[in-house]
Amino acid sequence: MNIPDQPVRIALPLPMPEALHSTPGNVLAVVGGVLDAAVVDLALVLAREAKNHVDLLLLAEVPVGLPMRAYGDWLMGRGCEAPLLAAEKTCGPAMGDANVLLSRGIGPALVAELLARQSSCLVISSAEGGWWVRWRGRRGIAQVQAHAECPVYVVHTPLPRHEHVSPRNPAWR
């Protein structure tokens, strides 16, 4: 399956027919962050060991006040599929399926997606940004780790430099 040959499918967090989901046992890689290269590389290694493919997922959290379908159309008009296209080039023939998933909360959406796809494992990067974005990302990843039936691999982003410095640290003085 090649993304340019087929339009990217926006999947809402609703029950979907089994025909729309990928082959059970594939590795699910969540892209769209600053560590996409590391996420895809780890997913490729895990898929190669298990002789499976890598399914790519771009997860977009929709603000509460906006309609999901309209927000998805707006994202597609702004070229949100660029991370999927870059990850597809990296995956090459090991690529399975590629989707954009719209949700109100990343934790429940990822757990439902893992169950529906019957993925062998999940590879995701921790959120990058301010403290609020990182807190929400960590909360969602913790929920996935607690409820997923498969291993969850998290590629962490380093903390910003100003958060490493504390009054007890000699480098601060």
| Each residue's pLDDT tens digit, 107-143 | 889 999 999 889 999 999 887 777 777 778 888 889 9
**Residue range 142-158: mean pLDDT, rounded:** 88
Here the tokens at position 135 are 């807190």
Q: Could you state, in order of their start, the residue ranges of all structural domains in the chain?
A: 9-13+24-157
Q: What is the Cα–Cα distance from 76 to 8, expressed in whole angstroms?
A: 9
Q: How far apart are CA 97 and CA 2, in angstroms?
A: 9
pLDDT at 17 over 50: no
> What sign has the CA pseudo-torsion 44, 49, 55, 61?
negative
Q: Please state the rounded mean pLDDT for residues 153-167.
A: 67
Q: Was domain 9-13+24-157 assigned CATH 3.40.50.620? A: yes
Angle CA 116–121–127, to nearest 5: 95
Lowest mean pLDDT among 19-23, 25-29, 110-114: 19-23
- pLDDT tens for 29-51 read 999 888 889 999 999 999 988 88
pLDDT of the residue at 23: 61
Please give the pLDDT value at position 15: 47
Q: Report pLDDT digits (tens) over 59-116.
A: 888 888 888 888 888 888 888 888 888 999 999 899 888 888 888 888 889 999 999 8
Predicted pLDDT of residue 46 = 93
CB 133 within 8 A of CB 44: no
**Nearest CA among 104, 89, 114 for reference residue 30:** 114
